Amino acid sequence: MTPSQKRFKIVSILILFVALLQVIGGVFLLVGSPLAAGMHVSLGGEAAYDGAIAAEVIGVLALVVGLYCFVVGVTGARAANSPRNTGKFNVLAVVMVVASLVQVVLGVTSGQVGWVEVILVILGILALVFGSKAHNEALDR
């Protein structure tokens, strides 16, 4: 396994763990747990949360995107073993980055940004970079 493949696999595994945090945070938001407050960073002095409806919408979105990111992490970990076949992963990772960016924008509009979503955006971009490097190295061999 080349260093690029190892980096690709490590980032994919990190996506798995952060996606699991996202799913747990989504469940906390849905059940109205006060533990969900630790998953967000307030942008102003006060939280501008719009009550239970906003928490439910963001919770459902977090749950769905978290499950999707989990699938992306599994696909990336498998693609790291055979980097010639990263096409499916690239499409999934681009959708993951876009979905996570949508969550960040929704968080900004509600006054709180989820740190998990920001990490998923960064990990998704890193996975795309390392995946393309591993793919190019595999084609050169």
Give the separation between CA 132 and CA 134, rounded to whole angstroms: 5
> Average pLDDT for residues 60-86, to the nearest whole number?
90
Report d(CA 72, CA 127) in Å as an integer: 10
Tokens linked to 121: 């955006």
Angstrom distance (rounded) from CA 9 to CA 22: 20
The count of structural domains within the chain is 1
Question: What residue numbers bound the domain in which 28 lies?
Answer: 3-140
Among 110, 136, 88, CA closest to 42 = 110
Q: Taking the model in full, what pTM does it have? A: 0.82
Q: What is the pLDDT of residue 44?
A: 61
Banded model confidence at residue 133, pLDDT cuts 50, 70, 90: very high
Per the prediction, the chain carries an average pLDDT of: 83
Please determine, for residue 130, whether its predicted confidence score (pLDDT) is greater than 80: yes
Q: The tokens of 102 are what?
A: 């949508």
pLDDT (tens digit per residue) in 111-125 = 777 788 899 999 999
SS3 call for 15: helix
**What's the farthest any 2 CA atoms get from each other in the chain?**
56
Residue 105 neighbours by CB distance under 10 Å: 12
Where residue 32 falls (left for φ over 0; alpha for ψ -120 to 50; beta otherwise) is left
Give the pLDDT score at 78: 92
Q: Pick the residue with more confidence: 78 or 46?
A: 78
**68 or 112: which leads in pLDDT:** 68
Residue tagged 């977090």 (tokens): 62
